[in-house]
Copies of this chain bind each other. A is one copy, B any other.
Amino acid sequence: MRFGLFGSAQAKRSGPDTDSSQGFRDFIDNNVEAEALGFYSTFLVEHHFTGFGQVSASLNLLTWLGARTGHLRLGTAVLVLPWHNPVLLAEQAATLDLLSGGRLDFGVGKGYRYNEFAGFCLPMEEADARFDESLNIITRAFTAEMPFSYRGKFWQFENIVVEPPTAQKPHPPFWMGAGSPDSVRQVAERGYNMLLGQHSLTEEIFGQVAQFRAEVEARRGIFEPMRVAVARAVHIAKNAADKEAALERRYQGHMRINALARCPDGDTRERFKSHEVEARYESAESALFGTPDEIMNKLDALRRGGVEYVIINFGGSRENIRRFARDIMPAFADAPQSLALAG
């Protein structure tokens, strides 16, 4: 199996006693060490206006990290396209890809948080159309050999050549999140790689991996297990109480995010449907929290369902990164098995 890191960093707004850069420095140091310990990649979120210091300029933080690492792949999970001028974003991404010797994994999304659409004064109903248009433009920006013009609904460009060139050809791998059969199909249709969320249940993930494989093969593609990365939170617990406390923090954190994401005048989206008992079950089932043995059992189960690439949210704990690398990772060091197992 292959393991990466997934998550954010936190730069708190500084009071007189706060060093607000500490959270970013910890993120960098954790990732530098993770590279040395055998982690393959890092995937970084992008969020705005939270008030609790989530990473907003993810490509910039990844660029600093790129300069401090040698082979760690640098992923976004995800860049939210509706916020960005697609040409500026393509330039920024290409700059990182070029500087890092082709280590960018270009994860993209449509956005889901109400507070971000509201903050940017963009109607949520435009998310899909903005996402599609931006992807068209970015793909052309990365690949066009001649100047091009674009007349879209949201963006217009005239006779442009987008520089610098990317290091990876024809462009960095595109990754896209999926949470429903329709979005899994879309990812396969576009030929992208697929990110599966850290709150999805194991059974859902099995279904999504199987569907993705079928969709790829139906289009005469070859299914590569490493084209699917599953996000998971890991906490190696000291004891039962520590595990319970970590699960409670996870649940509360998820609720805090949901509060930002929810439209104030009712929100019928799937993520808001579950009741507390159900939500607590999902939060716990999807977490890899517990003893190393418990965690290994859950990883084994994922692997049996066709998952070979897991990107892990350690909540910033360097100790857990080290223990995972020492106590868990070696047992999964063998070659991918799902090509033999699945199908």
Contact = CB atoms under 8 A, between A and B. Distances in A.
A57 B147 contact: no
A147 B64 CA distance: 28
B24 A98 contact: yes
Contact of A53 (B51, B119, B156, B163): B163
Interface residues of A, number: 55
Contact of A88 (B25, B83, B167): B83
Given A57-B95, A60-B59, A84-B88, A163 B13 contact: yes
Contact of A14 (B91, B96, B165): B165
Interface in A12-67: 13-14, 20-21, 24-25, 28, 48-51, 53-57, 59-61, 63-67
B91 A56 contact: yes
Given A119-B159, A158-B121, A165 B11 contact: yes
Contacts of A63: 60, 63-64, 67
Contacts of A85: 83-85
Contacts of A156: 121
Contacts of A158: 118-119, 121
A281 interface: no
Contacts of A14: 165
Given A63-B63, A64-B66, A163 B121 contact: no
Number of this chain's copies in the complex: 2
Contacts of A65: 67
A98 B163 contact: no
A91 B164 contact: no
Residue among A119, A158, A167 with most chain B CB within 10 A: A119
Contact of A160 (B49, B55, B61): B49
A60 B161 contact: no
Contacts of A51: 147, 161, 163
Contact of A60 (B55, B60, B87): B60
A21 B28 CA distance: 23
B98 A21 contact: yes
Contacts of A120: 87, 157
A92 interface: yes
22 contacts: A13-B163, A20-B98, A21-B99, A21-B101, A21-B167, A48-B87, A49-B159, A49-B160, A49-B162, A49-B163, A51-B147, A51-B163, A56-B164, A60-B60, A60-B63, A61-B95, A63-B63, A64-B64, A67-B67, A67-B68, A87-B120, A121-B156
Contacts of A21: 98-99, 101, 167
A121 B157 contact: yes
Interface in A261-305: none
A195 to B, nearest CB: 22
A161 B13 CA distance: 10
Contacts of A60: 59-60, 63, 92, 95-96, 99
A317 to B, nearest CB: 21
B99 A64 contact: yes
A164 B87 CA distance: 24
Contacts of A119: 157-160
